[in-house]
């Protein structure tokens, strides 16, 4: 009796039991592997969606900081120079002041401005506002020299009685600007502007993809953000209309704002999937909008 019990205990697993156990382990392992692969793929897709959304948001911040400064065409005829579905060239103020005197040149008392803004801007001309029409007139720089510190600063502080302000320890001396702003009167508001072009074009950071570019006239082209879907574009608001159109208005001075279609695309390509896309559209209107 004792020998029979000992024999049963020492027998171990049968071949069938081992095969069944192996099959069960294989099934469980395959299921776990598939689950891990699916979770990993879902993580990649979620990350791609996040990247695509980030492309739209980053470009939106950059565009808004510039375009919010643009003057409406009713207040400043000639603000928009070029407008198509994939490009926009516009005059953007970057420093403000008051006219002190107009002779062979224009002397302007400048308000203090952020030094980084001054350094990054590419001067394209002066604009001054008429007291009669309440409109700004653009005076392009053409071949004339850049503004220089005025040789007669007392023209502002004495004759015109325009005081130079200091804000947080920063000040900007009066400037002499050519050509002369004919017709401008002392005390008239004025600003320095740059001409900036935005466009959707082929990306260098992501070949065969679309990027958003920015270039100030006379400066270098910068790829601000990428990649975008090929459907990214500009749309246009015409005065007295709440619906943007793909075709810019004629004349361009009736353009009062821009709708920007920022359809982002994911940076990475997931094997077996096209780039993940996210739809985003936002609008920005120019300053000093004037009702007809």
**5 falls within a domain:** no
The β-bridge partners of 93 are 193
Residue 280 lies in a domain: yes
Q: What is the pLDDT averaged over residues 41-62? A: 57
**Lowest-pLDDT range of 15-19, 112-116, 125-129, 186-190:** 112-116
Torsion of CA 220, 225, 230, 232, to 10 degrees: -90
Polymer length of the chain: 292
What is the mean predicted confidence (pLDDT) over 205-217? 85
The per-residue pLDDT for 291 is 47
Strands (E), 103-152: 106-110, 125-129, 136-140, 148-149
The helix/strand/coil state of 78 is coil
278's tokens: 């996210």
Please give the pLDDT value at position 8: 53
| Run of H or E residues at 45 | helix 15-67
**In this structure, is residue 40 part of a structural domain?**
no
| Cα–Cα–Cα angle for 137, 139, 140, rounded to 5 degrees | 135
Distance CA 135, CA 145 (A): 25
The pLDDT of residue 226 is: 77
In a domain, 38, yes or no: no
pLDDT band at 138 (very low <50, low <70, confident <90, very high): very high
What is the per-residue pLDDT across 96-133, written as a single tens digit (0 to 9) for each?
989 988 888 899 988 876 666 677 788 999 999 998 88
Q: What value, to the nearest 5°, has the Cα angle with vertex 84 and ends 78 and 87?
A: 90
The secondary structure of 242-273 as a DSSP string is SS-BSSPPSSGGGEEEEEEE--EE-SSPPTTS
Six-digit token string for 273 = 């999937």
Tell me, what's the pLDDT at 64?
Answer: 78
**Rounded Cα gap, residues 110 and 192, in angstroms:** 9
Q: Which pLDDT score is estimated for 292?
A: 45
The pLDDT of residue 142: 67
Q: Number of structural domains, the chain?
A: 1
Establish if 39 belongs to a structural domain: no
Structure tokens given for 131 = 């007291």
For 281, the enclosing helix (H) or strand (E) is strand 281-285
Q: Return the pLDDT at 251.
A: 92
Q: What is the CA radius of gyration of the chain?
A: 32
Instruction: Give the single-character DSSP code of 76.
Output: S
Does residue 200 belong to any structural domain of this protein? Answer: yes
For residues 51-62, average pLDDT:
57
> Are residues 241 and 254 in contact, defined by beta-carbon separation less than 8 angstroms?
no
Maximum average pLDDT range among 41-50, 79-88, 156-165, 234-243: 79-88
Q: What is the per-residue pLDDT for 288?
A: 55
Average pLDDT over residues 217-227: 83
Average pLDDT along the chain: 79
Q: What is the pLDDT of residue 256?
A: 92
Q: How confident is the model at residue 59 (pLDDT cuts 50, 70, 90)?
A: low
Q: Does a structural domain hold residue 92? A: yes
Q: Which of 15-29, 74-88, 171-185, 227-241 has the lowest mean pLDDT?
A: 15-29
Q: 9 in a domain, yes or no?
A: no
Q: Which residues of 149-176 are buried (b: 16+ CB within 10 A; e: fewer)?
A: ebeebebbeeebebebeeeeeeebebbb
User: What is the model's pLDDT at position 161?
Assistant: 67
The residue range of the domain holding 206 is: 51-285
């Amino acid at each position: 009796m004792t020998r029979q019990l000992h024999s049963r205990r020492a027998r171990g697993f049968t071949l069938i039991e081992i095969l069944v156990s192996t099959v069960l382990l294989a099934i469980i392992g395959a299921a776990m592997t598939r689950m891990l692969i699916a979770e990993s793929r879902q993580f990649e897709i979620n990350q791609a969606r996040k990247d695509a959304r980030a492309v739209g948001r980053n470009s939106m911040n950059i565009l808004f900081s510039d375009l919010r400064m643009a003057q409406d065409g009713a207040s400043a005829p000639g603000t928009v120079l070029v407008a198509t579905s994939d490009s926009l060239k516009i005059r953007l103020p970057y420093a403000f002041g008051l006219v002190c005197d107009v002779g062979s040149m224009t002397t302007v008392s400048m308000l203090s401005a952020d030094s980084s803004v001054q350094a990054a801007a590419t001067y394209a001309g002066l604009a001054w506002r008429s007291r009669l029409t309440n409109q700004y007139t653009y005076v392009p720089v053409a071949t004339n020299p850049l503004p220089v510190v005025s040789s007669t600063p007392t023209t502002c502080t004495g004759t015109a009685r325009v005081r130079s302000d200091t804000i947080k320890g920063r000040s900007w001396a009066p400037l002499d600007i050519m050509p002369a702003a004919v017709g401008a009167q002392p005390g008239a508001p004025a600003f320095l502007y740059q001409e900036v072009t935005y466009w959707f074009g082929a990306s260098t950071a992501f070949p065969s993809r679309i990027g958003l570019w920015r270039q100030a006239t006379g400066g270098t082209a910068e790829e601000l953000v990428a990649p975008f879907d090929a459907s990214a574009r500009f749309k246009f608001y015409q005065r007295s209309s709440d619906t943007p159109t793909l075709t810019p208005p004629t004349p361009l001075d009736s353009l009062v704002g821009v709708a920007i279609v920022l359809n982002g695309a994911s940076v990475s390509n997931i094997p077996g999937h096209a780039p993940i896309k996210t739809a985003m559209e936002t609008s920005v209107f120019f300053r000093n909008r004037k009702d007809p």
